[in-house]
Amino acid sequence: MSDSPQTSTQTTTYRPGQGVICRIESIEPGGYGAVVVAGKMPPKSDSATDDTVLKAFVPSNEPLEIGQTVPATFVCMHNNRALMTFAFMLGTTETIQTSTASDEENAFAIWVDSYPSDNRVRRAIDVFMPSVSGKLLHELQCSNCDAKKLLNDLELAKFTGCIKARSEEKKSRSAMLIIDGRIVGAIYGKKDAQETYSVDKATKMMGADLLEPETLLTVYELPQGVVLSMASIFLGCKITKDKGKSTADYLDHALVSMKLAGETGCITICQDAELITTMVFVFEGDLIGAYKIKDQSFSEDTAPTLEETKEKNNAGIDAHILPVHLLSEAVTFGYKLSGAIA
């Protein structure tokens, strides 16, 4: 998830957590294009006099007006464009100022402490698709393994896939989505409990279950594109729906937007219910597959799913994207897998 020298992260005088004021310039999928008021790109050399304003992407589901100035918090730079979070994150900013972590880690901390914390999936762990190959790396009981060592080993191996846990004692089911040894999605559920949790909270609750001897673990690999697509539901931005537009219009708008921008994201479809029934995966602008949750089936051919959804035109649809900044070298994306167990 790093970039070539031609698309490397631009240095800027701003640091993760710094508060700025942005002027909204345009509407974009998931938010707005903006410029930092009085913000300039750093000179390319001592003799340079480049006065180009600092362009930015400001994710927001709040309706904003073109020309409006809004408070924002700087996250990182990528391809001469800043990623911001909408509004000042005062508590986080103070924490980051005293942090000894790298800017890349602080950038992720700023990001997840803002908008994505509201992204919570109302669905059981079956929302995470099974192994495409049908092969499991591990299926074991925690009494027969050192769960903390297992997570450490998977982190060091830069494992990409899913870890699921089942505890009959706690009546819980949980799962973590992993990319390169870091957690980018998590669900924790208990019988007769309707509460949903942020990724960080769900991860810690699952980690506590892994310390119980009777907990059953399943570990399996998944394709990188599928994992990153699903991660957008937990750590990405939702593409806002225009009032009065049909399901088909919104679906087309989301897919075209991701295609043109080469973005990674996920379309979630709810047929006749509030729970997600189908997921359509988009990786770097390309459709890579559809997953039907009830059937636990995955197909690289997305056309039948998209056609059916447009024909019915009454499904509940949401589209999420991962801003390209999050997958660049400017951000250490995801939570540490070894941190799941205290």
103-113: average pLDDT:
91
254-283: average pLDDT:
90
Residue 7 has pLDDT above 50, yes or no: no
Is residue 106 classed as helix, strand or coil in its secondary structure? helix
Of all residues in the chain, the percent with pLDDT exceeding 90 is 60
Quick: pLDDT tens for 211-246: 999 999 999 999 999 999 999 999 999 998 888 888
Read off the DSSP letter of residue 17: T
Q: What integer pLDDT is reported at residue 117 of this predicted model?
A: 47
Handedness of CA 74, 109, 125, 327 (dihedral sign): positive
Cα(269)–Cα(280) distance, rounded to whole angstroms?
8
Task: Find, among 74, 85, 28, 80, the residue nearest to 53 by Cα.
Answer: 80
Long-range CB contact pairs, 305-308, < 8 A, 24+: 305/269, 305/278, 305/280, 306/251, 306/255, 306/280
pLDDT band at 185 (very low <50, low <70, confident <90, very high): very high
Task: Find, among 338, 324, 236, 334, the residue nearest to 2 by Cα.
Answer: 324
Q: What integer pLDDT is reported at residue 48 of this predicted model?
A: 43
- Strand pairing of 81-86 and 53-59? parallel
Cα(138)–Cα(288) distance, rounded to whole angstroms?
26
Q: What integer pLDDT is reported at residue 241 of this predicted model?
A: 84
CB 324 within 8 A of CB 262: yes
Phi and psi at 31, nearest 5°, equal 170, -135
Task: Find, among 283, 270, 181, the residue nearest to 232 by Cα.
Answer: 283
Write out the two tokens for 210: 């892994």
Q: What integer pLDDT is reported at residue 342 of this predicted model?
A: 78
Mean pLDDT of the chain: 86
User: How many angstroms separate the first and last alpha carbons of the chain?
Assistant: 27
Cα(96)–Cα(241) distance, rounded to whole angstroms?
34
Cα(209)–Cα(169) distance, rounded to whole angstroms?
9
For helices 103-112 and 90-97, what crossing angle results, to 10°? 160
CATH homologous superfamily of 5-118 equals: Nucleic acid-binding proteins (2.40.50.140)
pLDDT band at 44 (very low <50, low <70, confident <90, very high): very low
Q: Is 209 exposed, middle or buried (0-12, 13-18, 19+ CB in 10 A)?
A: buried
Q: Which string of b and e fits 125-160 if b means at least 16 CB within 10 Å?
A: bebbbbbbeeeeeeeeebeeeebeebbbebbeeebb
Is residue 178 classed as helix, strand or coil in its secondary structure? strand
CB 339 within 8 A of CB 281: no
Q: What integer pLDDT is reported at residue 187 of this predicted model?
A: 93
Residue 300 CA, chain-centre distance (Å), reads: 22
Quick: pLDDT tens for 110-168: 898 876 545 555 567 888 999 988 777 888 999 999 999 999 999 999 999 999 999 99
Residue 255 CA, chain-centre distance (Å), reads: 17
**Domains of the chain, residue spans:** 5-118, 125-227, 237-322
pTM given for the model: 0.88
Residue 3 has pLDDT above 50, yes or no: no
How crowded is residue 295: how many other Cβ atoms within 10 Å of its Cβ? 9
